[in-house]
Structure 1
């Protein structure tokens, strides 16, 4: 059995008005995990904890079989943060020089190849890049030092559909090596429909689910029914519900609903909305 690329167990971190509460999930190698949740749910905080940019109050994080703060592990992690990461006055050429000092396995030729492919001006300051170009620059950097794990925080946010597809193609190519893994934080669930193998949903600092995407979509559905029908179901079959004046909608486990009842397919966005805005969200 291959080792997991990432393991979080009982990770807690308390801020003034926010806290991660017992966050835990496992990302196997060869897997793309979509990390979803509304703004402020804890996605970025979780990624920063994995990167050892913040220290959890408790819990354990293992990255590629070792503690995430180990320098040898950091060499194997490619990172794209939503707020960039490089000084806006730098050019792509200067970024390459900087990262050549930071990473033992920095591949300047590979980075230059990406820059050329993306049509990025090597000498132009980053502040003059479009959002799409900034994202591509960060992805080029993440893919140019033999990374085994990519940690991506909203890499396709604000990009037009064409550029988003280009970014997803790069991630798909990265995953051709079965030892690689990706943790992809995103609120664009259509991107996750294309590339994610697993879905982890975090809400108010707490993981509500972490399951294989296909299994989640196959086993769950949306039931439209009366209040009496909903009450007749085993409570364990109902993951979340909405009760209105004209009936009920519920996110249900298909195997807990009578076979002659109609259960509609569900997508990731609908699951997210039910678990955050429905009653009995959990």
Structure 2
């Protein structure tokens, strides 16, 4: 399988604190990988390590099959990046910004850019520092989608958007993957967004990957079951992904509902429930 991004056993420490521990996952061509976890779980550090903004202590990162891509300017053009804080020149207008990117990117597509600007209802002659947070995020996404990128790294890129704008942006992201066979690594606290467009789920907690699986498999085979504590020994330990105790019973996330005892009922899960149980697991 072709991986646009391949992260293998990344470890990062700040002093004595381990913030990433053997982090491993990949972004295949044609996929949208939902990267989820609480604040402080290690998502932003992972993004910064992938982008070469911080260096890992061990492990390797390959982008488009190559390491150290950050030293190759032409290859870097194929990566689109959006953080939750805008990093565009605030004193410029959109028209002025377009002229700047025409000089910076060999692959800049101003027709696509202005199509997105108009679609997102952004004012072309207004200085960017006067934009709302939602407008700024939509502009950053428009930029990331307008220079023929093959890999998008989006860290909380939909967080400042209203529901209608999020729906519009998610549609553009799905079109990008479908039309370019590109890939997206998308972190978000909005589980409904992840559930709508992600093809893969990667869950991180305290710098460790707890779950790395295709979303369709999670929704088809995983389940949540409430079971009295005295019956826990009946469960196959190999299918237990997470457990949380509630007085006399435990709530269990299992990876294969078909291996549950036949008299034990389970319920389908949503990304919201999955995230809550993994976050609060014991």
What range describes the TM-score normalised by the shorter chain of this pair?
Answer: over 0.9
Q: Match for 2:125 among 120, 123, 142?
A: 123
Q: State the Cα distance separating 1:180 from its structure 2 match.
A: 0.9
Matched, 1:265 2:268: yes
Alignment partners' CA distance in 1, 2:239 and 2:230: 15
Kindly report structure 1 stretches of 4+ aligned residues shifted beyond 6 Å. none
Matched, 1:108 2:107: no
Q: Which residue of 1 aligns with 2:22?
A: 22
Q: Which residue of 2 aligns with 1:176?
A: 178
Q: Match for 2:87 among 82, 85, 94?
A: 85
Q: What does 1:6-155 correspond to in 2, within 5 Å?
A: 6-16=5-15, 17-67=17-67, 68-69=69-70, 70-155=72-157
Query: What CA deviation, in whole Å up to 9, does each residue of 1:130-160 have, x standing for no partner?
Result: 2221111111111111111111111110321
Q: State the Cα distance separating 1:187 from its structure 2 match.
A: 1.1
Alignment partners' CA distance in 2, 1:185 and 1:94: 30
Q: Report the aligned-residue RMSD.
A: 1.6
Q: Which residue of 2 aligns with 1:188?
A: 190
Q: State the Cα distance separating 1:168 from its structure 2 match.
A: 0.5
Please, what TM-score do these two structures have when normalized by structure 2? Answer: 0.93
Alignment partners' CA distance in 1, 2:212 and 2:92: 39
* Alpha-carbon contact 1:29-1:178 (below 8 Å) kept: no
Q: Which structure 1 segments of 5+ residues have no match?
A: none
| 2:179 alignment partner, SS class | coil
Alignment partners' CA distance in 2, 1:264 and 1:245: 20
* Alpha-carbon contact 2:203-2:212 (below 8 Å) kept: yes
From the superposition, tell whether residues 99 and 54 of structure 1 become closer, same or farther in structure 2 (CA, over 3 Å): farther
Matched, 1:232 2:224: no
Q: What does 1:251-262 correspond to in 2, within 5 Å?
A: 251-253=253-255, 254-262=257-265
Alignment partners' CA distance in 1, 2:247 and 2:49: 44
* Alpha-carbon contact 1:37-1:201 (below 8 Å) kept: yes
Alignment partners' CA distance in 1, 2:104 and 2:24: 30
Query: What CA deviation, in whole Å up to 9, does each residue of 1:153-183 have, x standing for no partner?
Result: 1111032111110110111111222521111
Q: Which structure 2 segments of 5+ residues have no match?
A: none
* Alpha-carbon contact 2:150-2:180 (below 8 Å) kept: no
Alignment partners' CA distance in 1, 2:117 and 2:210: 39
Q: Match for 1:202 among 180, 201, 204?
A: 204
* Alpha-carbon contact 1:88-1:127 (below 8 Å) kept: yes
Please, what TM-score do these two structures have when normalized by structure 1? Answer: 0.93
